[in-house]
Structure 1
Amino acid sequence: MKITWVRWLLGVFVLMLVGCSTADNEMAGGNIQAVNHTLSNINWLSVNGYRADGGGGRSCCIIMPTKWRPGLKAHIEWEVDPEPFAKIKRKTTGYGFDEDAWAAHEANFKRYSTKVDIPEWPGVESCDLKVHFFTCNQVKVTTSCWAPSSPSYPIRVPMGMKEPSVCPK
């Protein structure tokens, strides 16, 4: 009697797993890439909990659906160094690093978060998730397979943008 009950539960469990493995639910890994259009430094970023370097290179990995669906969003968190070229005093002893000066500089770092829509990608293939940072803490993402320098790339905004004195609400 117990063996029959266990087999029945096992059968139900297997059916549930098979039912959840449809093509619409398939996931795949990809890279995250930061594209910084500002004069500030993006120290790091996180997309849906997957952390990445903010320096512009590709960071592994993010898990995303293989097929786009409406309502797909990215929750993005990031840290900004608003004065990336500030000079930190050097000590004349030890290793030449002033921890107090660094702590004062680091106290100016700011953290932000937002949710953005992930635009539809053509076909069934997406490429790296590229996160674009703009002035006024605006963010856009794309999964375009084109390089940001390509005329076919969907986000065409200049680099090195200066922060305006007043940001739109």
Structure 2
Amino acid sequence: MVFVLLPLAACRAAGQDDTIGVSITGVDHLAEHLSIQDFWVNGTGGHQAGGGGRKVCCASLPAEWRPGLTVKVTWAVTNWKRRVYSMYERDVPLEHCDGPMGRLWVHFLRDGQVRAITCDLSAPGTWEPNPEYPGPQPLATTLLRKQPWSDYERQPDEPEFPEVDNAMEDEAI
């Protein structure tokens, strides 16, 4: 019996990681008329991605980084010009700076890609380029003034924004 249970216990222990909670910050690198209204990392809401200064607690990540780690990122893109939105979901490799696991930065890029980086460096929130930060540098001129929803006024009889396949496209509905 011991010979059967011992391997099972070893497999279970090897498959479990100690986890830590890290704050999540979304950084929206999209065109001015697009915005990330909501996003989630492994089911934890990060809320609206912006310029990198806002933190939400907490995503659960393994306490020790290792190659091959991924996170599931789900996000909604609103196209304020077309007045539509789309939902996206992707398993994203978890990148890491040297040192302990730090804040989780989720970058939403103009080409539709997403980068997830855990790092103690806070380059995106400082608005100053930091060559030590491995992710995209902030586009301060765009991100600091980006508020596409401020020009939008919903009319009383206007329907909610419909969901489309790809809100990042700029063609008419």
Q: Which TM class, normalised by the smaller chain length? A: 0.5 to 0.7
Instruction: State the aligned residue count.
Output: 130
Residues 36 and 42 in structure 1, CA contact (< 8 A), matched pair in contact too: yes
Say yes or no: does 1:143 pair with 2:118. yes
1:6 maps to what in 2? none
Between the aligned residues of both structures, percent identity stands at 26
Aligned mate of 1:128, from 85, 103, 107:
103
- 1:32-53 deviations in Å (ceiling 9; x for gaps): 1101111211111011111111
Q: Residue in 1 aligned with 2:69?
A: 72
Tell me the C-alpha RMSD between the 2 structures.
3.2
Gaps of 5+ in 2: 144-167
Query: 1:97-148: CA deviations, max 9, x gaps?
Result: xxxxxxx94xx1111111211123423x111111001113111111121112
Greater C-alpha Rg: 1
Kindly state the Cα deviation for residue 157 of structure 1 after the two structures are TM-superposed.
3.8
User: Secondary structure at 1:156's aligned position in 2?
Assistant: coil
Residues 105, 117 of structure 2: 8 Å contact kept? yes
Superposition TM-score, scaled by structure 1 size: 0.63
Runs of 4+, deviation exceeding 2 Å: 19-22, 120-123, 156-161
Query: Which of 73, 87, 94 in structure 2 is aligned with 1:111?
Result: 87
Query: Structure 1 or 2: larger helix share?
Result: 1
Q: Structure 1: which 5+ runs fail to align?
A: 1-11, 87-103
Cα contact 1:133–1:139 (8 A) shared by 2: yes
TM-score calculated relative to the size of structure 2 = 0.62
